[in-house]
Amino acid sequence: MAKYKTLDDFDVKNKVVLVRVDFNSEIDPETKNVTSDVRIKAHAESTLKELAEKGAKTVVLAHQGRKGDPDYTSLKQHAEILQKILKCPVKYVDDLFGEKAKAAIKDLKSGEILVLENVRSWDKETKSMTPEEASKTELIQNLAPLADLFVNDAFAAAHRGHVSMVGFTAVLPSAAGRIMERELKSLSKALEKPEKPSVYVMGGAKADDSLEISKYVLGNGIADYVLTGGVTGQLFLAAKGSDLGKGNMSFLAKKELTGLIPGIKALIDQFGEKVVVPIDFALEVNGKRTEISINKLPTENSIMDIGSKTVEKYSRIIATAKSIVVSGPMGVYENKEFNQGTKGVFEAIANSKAFSLAGGGNTIAAIQEYGLTKKISYISTAGGALIEFLMGKKLPGVVALENAVTTKKI
């Protein structure tokens, strides 16, 4: 069982509760508008709603993008979205730990929610530190004395040992929020004692991540099969010795993925048939979909999707599974000509009776587009944190919660 405390362990009525959430959302680079409120909604409808209903004075800390990136914005808009979702007033202050922020915190009444400015407006936030080091910074030194409890609900940022993710746990009693709790419970279910057979479906273009996850889950007997698709599937097939054709091979080289081939070969040598690669592909020929068996490779046309024989093969394996983890699409699903592979495999997952877990921006977008959201057992709000969790890594944000102090130290 988890070693961290939860909201069940504290009486929050009239208490100032600092809540770190992950509101980091997709932003339209032109208008700077938030285009997906999935994460804001998740925190709003669970932890933040509960704290408000229990009469806490809630102070929300979050980040959006990184300075210099197109998705870096203030959190004013996030506060407005939160207000719409919760249907109650949400305050916002364009200050993080200065006099304005402190005055707004002291002004809070029971049940009220205040959103502070983007934590990344303060440059030190993104430095990775130990909780003790972080606790000595201005952010923690200024905010912690005003608070009674720290709640970390930002599972999606838990792979970052950033100041606001770890520092408060060294000086304030701390608890996991409901999203943090839900993510950790669901992900542990997929990773610790998955019901067998357990199938991992690894697609998308982040073949380095897929390789690390495959090594971990096959090496530790967590997965019985890894099914590969997308760019990952192409690279795994190339590692088995297939020549995909000049254009496709140089695409993989340009993405600096061919260096992974020796590691993939070693994985395939060790786990053989458990590592499953595509048996056909969909190519782009004059803008149209044309399928080709891998026996007919190499090709001068671009590989855009897995083929229908691969979908059938993967669907048969998925039908036998008792637990499934899926991350990454099977092809260029944004283009209607080439979404059949992703749609077919994701439908097979949705139709299976297995416990199914999905995560990652593209995966979630595709699941939503095909109307499969309700048929997936658990959809994670996380991207990078989920990947690191599936690689078996300890997440600094979670470790800090587990080692949190029990009494106020500031």
Q: Which two tokens stand for residue 242?
A: 């297939």
Q: Which is nearer to ligand 3PG, 126 or 301 (CB)?
A: 126
Q: Which is nearer to ligand 3PG, 157 or 324 (CB)?
A: 157
Neighbours of 224 (CB within 10 A): 20
Q: Taking CB under 6 A as the rule, does residue 20 contact ligand 3PG?
A: no
The residues in 307-326 that bind ligand 3PG, with binding defined as CB under 6 A, are none
Q: Taking CB under 6 A as the rule, does residue 384 contact ligand 3PG?
A: yes
DSSP H helices in 69-172: 76-86, 99-107, 131-135, 138-143, 163-166
Starting at the edge strand found earlier in the chain, the sheet holding 302-306 runs 288-293, 280-285, 302-306
User: Smallest distance from the beta carbon of 364 to ligand 3PG, in angstroms?
Assistant: 12
Q: Which is nearer to ligand 3PG, 66 or 409 (CB)?
A: 66
Q: Taking CB under 6 A as the rule, does residue 156 contact ligand 3PG?
A: yes
Nearest 5°: CA angle at 181, between 36 and 24? 25
Q: What is the DSSP letter of 107?
A: H
- The SS3 assignment for 34 reads strand
Size of the site for ligand 3PG (CB under 6 A): 8
Q: Which stretch binds ligand 3PG (CB under 6 A): 154-162, 267-275, 324-332, 342-350?
A: 154-162
The sign of the dihedral angle between the CA atoms of 234, 238, 242, 248 is: positive
Q: Which is nearer to ligand 3PG, 156 or 366 (CB)?
A: 156
Q: How many CA within 13 A on the CB side of residue 405? A: 18
Q: Taking CB under 6 A as the rule, does residue 24 contact ligand 3PG?
A: yes
Q: What is the DSSP letter of 307?
A: -
Q: Taking CB under 6 A as the rule, does residue 245 contact ligand 3PG?
A: no
- Cα 29 from Cα 44, distance rounded (Å): 25
Nearest one of 101, 94, 157 to 126, comparing CA atoms: 157
The residues in 161-220 that bind ligand 3PG, with binding defined as CB under 6 A, are none
Nearest 5°: CA angle at 211, between 208 and 214? 150
Q: Taking CB under 6 A as the rule, does residue 383 contact ligand 3PG?
A: yes
Q: Which is nearer to ligand 3PG, 66 or 393 (CB)?
A: 66
Q: Which is nearer to ligand 3PG, 62 or 235 (CB)?
A: 62
Among 134, 139, 157, 357, contact with ligand 3PG (rule: CB under 6 A): 157
Q: Taking CB under 6 A as the rule, does residue 66 contact ligand 3PG?
A: yes
Q: Taking CB under 6 A as the rule, does residue 390 contact ligand 3PG?
A: no
Positions touching ligand 3PG (CB under 6 A) are: 22, 24, 66, 156-157, 160, 383-384
